Amino acid sequence: MAAPLCALASRTQRSARAELAQRLAGSLTPSLARGQAGVGRRWCGDAARQKSTHFGFQTVPEGEKAARVYKVFESVAGRYDLMNDAMSLGIHRLWKDALLRVMNPQPGLRLLDAAGGTGDISFRFMAYTRSVHEQKLRRRARSNQTPSWQDITASYSSEGAGPPQSRAVVCDINKEMLKVGKGRAEEAGITTGVSWVVGDAEELPFDEDQFDVYTIAFGIRNVTHVEQALQEAFRVLKPGGRFLCLEFSQVSTPLLSKLYDAYSFQVIPVLGEVIAGDWKSYQYLVESIRRFPNQETFKGMIEEAGFARVQYINLTGGICAIHSAFKL
């Protein structure tokens, strides 16, 4: 990009300008370095824990990352779905539909939608299982055109049982996102089957062996300790349960990669400023995508957590990838 003016200025000029800039503002925002030092001083007694991690392209103490991510999503929650449509030109819906097709859930399953936010995956899950169930009924009806009276009696008794109830639990660390999701559920008229739980993907508020499917869509890159989230996923899944992760990944072709980078860094923060009035949150989002490990590395991490049969599928040239694994 065009060499920033500050890079051309000498260091002394910059510090003089910085002083003037401080007088310019009524309130001072501590620079990242000073904030880091402040946190470091507080954690002085525990040198071992003073590790740092990445927050987009910034480096922050580990303890700070979760709070900063929380603030990002708190501020974007209201416009989250609108921004997703604007940034991906609606393609994110196709990605999520692809995830459901890979999952191919049968009615009666229990889903944990981790980092579920506004509930996109859970709503699709409920709709998918409902349509699978309806298809089954239609097929049964078609093949049963002339039932005998014994068949009719049998169908009366089974009708009372009703369809096997699929259940989805949306778990997210951010209350604002869950609020938006609940509002969407009410508008769509989805009253049964979906529950909304506040929880940290690194420390899930569920017992082990609870869920048939665990999904995390566009959420795992925001987690501070990805390995811990994977271990938690392993813990709460039933034996035979399936782990599915939909996440931005590395683009395979260099040409597409350049265009994608240009689009991400030039257009997306601008969209964030114009539509949501928030440049910095969307700058963080595009930077965090670059920081996330690529498909093969992430596959290795999933295997480390104890999963078997790990596979990945690239979507849209590698812009997204679906990682799938089983707890055996």
Partner 1 sequence: MCSVLSRARRWAFAFHVLTRQQHTAWESDHHGRLYTGHIQTSPVQKALLAVGSGIAALQNPYRHDMVAVLGETTGHLALVKLRNRMRNNPEGYTILIERPRIQLSTLDLSWMSALPDGSLGREYLCFLEKNKVTPDTRANVKFVDDEELAYVMQRYREVHDLLHTLLGMPTNMLGEVAVKMFEAAQTGLPMCILGAILGPLRLSTSRLQKLTTSLGPWALHSGIHSRCVLSVFYERRWEQNLEDLREELNIEPPPFTLPANSKRPS
Give the whole-angstrom CA distance, residue 31 versus residue 58. 12
15 binds partner 1 (CB under 8 A): no
Annotated binding residue 207: no
37 binds partner 1 (CB under 8 A): no
11 binds partner 1 (CB under 8 A): no
> Exactly one of 151, 203, 209, 261 binds partner 1 (CB under 8 A); which one?
261
Q: Which stretch binds partner 1 (CB under 8 A): 28-36, 72-80, 105-113, 233-241?
A: 28-36
First CA to last CA distance, the chain: 49
Q: In angstroms, what is the minimal distance from the CB of 25 to partner 1?
A: 4
Q: Which stretch binds partner 1 (CB under 8 A): 14-22, 75-83, 158-166, 223-231?
A: 14-22
Q: At what angle do helices 120-143 and 91-103 cross, to 10 degrees?
A: 50
Closest by CA position to 271, among listed 261, 259, 262, 283: 283
74 binds partner 1 (CB under 8 A): no
Q: CA geometry: angle at 215 spanning 125 and 165, to 5°?
A: 35
48 binds partner 1 (CB under 8 A): no
DSSP 202: T
Q: In angstroms, what is the minimal distance from the CB of 305 to partner 1?
A: 30
44 binds partner 1 (CB under 8 A): no
For partner 1, which is the closer residue by CB, 27 or 148? 27
- Sort 175 into a burial class: Cβ within 10 Å, 0-12 / 13-18 / 19+: middle
Provide the sign of the torsion angle of the four alpha carbons 177, 179, 183, 185, taken in this order.
Answer: positive
Q: Which residues are near partner 1 by CB under 8 A?
A: 1-2, 4-7, 17, 20-29, 31-32, 56-59, 258-259, 261-262, 264-267, 269-271, 273-275, 277, 279-280, 287
